[in-house]
Amino acid sequence: MQKPLGDFIYALREHGLPVSPAESLDAMQAVRLIGIEHPLQLRSALGMTLAKTQEHLIVLETLFQQFFQLNDHTHLTSQNERADETNLAEAQEPHEPQAQAQESQPSDAATDPQSNDSTGAVVASPLGQQLMDNEQAALSVAIAAAGAQSGAQTMQAVTQQSQVTYRIMRKLGNEPLNQELLALSEDPEQNTRFIELKRRQQQLQQQAREYVEQQYLLFTLPKGKQLRTQNLQRVKLTNVDHHYQAQMGQLIQQAAKKLASLHSRRRKVSKRGLLDVRRTIAANAAFDGLLFHTKWKATRIERPKVLVLCDVSGSVSRVARFLLLFLHSLQDVLPKVRSFVFASDMGEVTELFERLTVEEALAEIMDRWANRPTDYGCALEDFKRLALNDIDPKTTVIMLGDARNNQSDGRSDIWQQVYQRSQRVLWLNPEGRFSWDSGDSIISEYAPYCSKVEPCNSLNDINRILNNLLKHG
């Protein structure tokens, strides 16, 4: 029982359930107490010991149904355990003389094909005998054992299912059975037995195929999803295919939720060496000056006021879309985000995000501003008119753009004013450093007036940059 339960816990972890070693031991003890005769009670016990939330419980019950097969608990015992139980039962049975006499007599049915019944004792291969005797429990255990040896739990791709199924059938003894079927097919008198045995072989192949598919869903499919998620987090946002746009949106919202949870608590740094004398005296006035309560000075890290300028021209528009989605998923910790987009003319879109859903706002932004010739000079002139006077020493300005200006005047003097008025200025460039200042890029004109210039073209980059922003206030 320990091996199947360990595999089940491994499957739970692959599906995202955080099962600790202590919880695994609790589950093992629960199985020992309840036993395997009542699957519904066993499922409830595993749910109480291994699931922490309602979502975890739903996943566990689904996997329990797939893994243990609620109507057949043959997966719960190993082949060795069944063999031991069989041997013990045989040892306890009384050996009557009549039974011994029957065992000592040769079986005519084994030698005379005409005397065999429909089950066909003429079948000599071990697998064929099991099929004709309809030993479903033993065959299920044998498939599970052969699957473990054939790599059913370590498949890397769906294309390996047929190969693993073939290996399982070989380990079960399919080759001797095929030879026997060939011999039966050549004997017209054994046609009925051949058809029945062939049908049962096909059923066994289907059972093995379903077992392999089940193992793929339990162990391999989650790995593929995790690998795809990791790749999407690292891949350049400009290279993300449109088929993955919805999944990228989900990943961004998950990352934003995690980041918001990390920074949503009231952030206060206490300096325990600096006594606040005034507050201490006031707090102890009722005790005739005795210092029952001490008050210490503290520095509060204020959440920054953020202005975001996004270039939505050309390929940069994809990165801008994801950055805006990320920022506006952080409303709990960044409530003072003002967003501006531009290609040539610049417009503020903060009101769009307040009035529409994020997806609707992004769609309207891309329709109105995206895919136009870039003019940073014109955009910065608009920004000076729209928001330059609102920038103060508590403001963080984030520019997302490749600084490719089509040989126009970049108006870096306006950007200098932004830098002088604000707390910090971050320039996020979707291009790699090797492309900076190549062609019509004028990033070097803006770099002296930036606190930091960084490449930003993946979800990991956005997450890291915004995490640093929230961490340092």
Residue 83, C-beta contacts closer than 8 angstroms, at least 6 positions apart: none
* H/E run at residue 326: helix 316-327
- CATH 3.40.50.410 domain position(s) in the chain: 305-472
Cα torsion through 242, 244, 250, 252, rounded to 10: -70
What average pLDDT score do residues 251-269 get? 58
Q: In 3-state terms, what secondary structure has residue 299? A: strand
Question: What is the pLDDT, as a whole number, of residue 235?
Answer: 61
Question: What is the pLDDT, as a whole number, of residue 384?
Answer: 92
Distance CA(48)–CA(54), nearest Å, equals: 11
Distance CA(2)–CA(29), nearest Å, equals: 10
Token look-up 């640093």 returns 468
What average pLDDT score do residues 36-57 get? 81
The CATH number fitting domain 305-472, selected from 3.30.56.10, 1.10.10.200, 3.30.460.30, 3.40.50.410:
3.40.50.410
Lowest mean pLDDT among 31-35, 273-277, 302-306, 373-377: 302-306
pLDDT at 192 over 60: yes
Over residues 402-457, the pLDDT tens digits come to 888 888 888 999 999 999 999 889 898 888 888 888 888 899 999 999 998 988 87
Over residues 127-173, the pLDDT tens digits come to 888 888 888 888 888 888 888 788 887 777 777 888 888 889 988 88
Question: What is the pLDDT, as a whole number, of residue 418?
Answer: 93
Indicate the burial class of 374 (C-beta count within 10 angstroms; 0-12, 13-18, 19 or more): buried
Q: Other C-beta atoms within 10 Å of 363: how many? A: 14
The whole-model pTM stands at 0.51
* H/E run at residue 110: helix 108-111
Mean pLDDT of the chain: 75
Calculate helix-pair angle for 21-34, 2-14, nearest 10 degrees: 140
- Residue 352's pLDDT band (cuts 50, 70, 90): confident
Q: In 3-state terms, what secondary structure has residue 312? A: coil
What average pLDDT score do residues 97-113 get? 41
Distance CA(294)–CA(274), nearest Å, equals: 11
Instruction: Tell me which amino acid residue 307 is.
Output: L
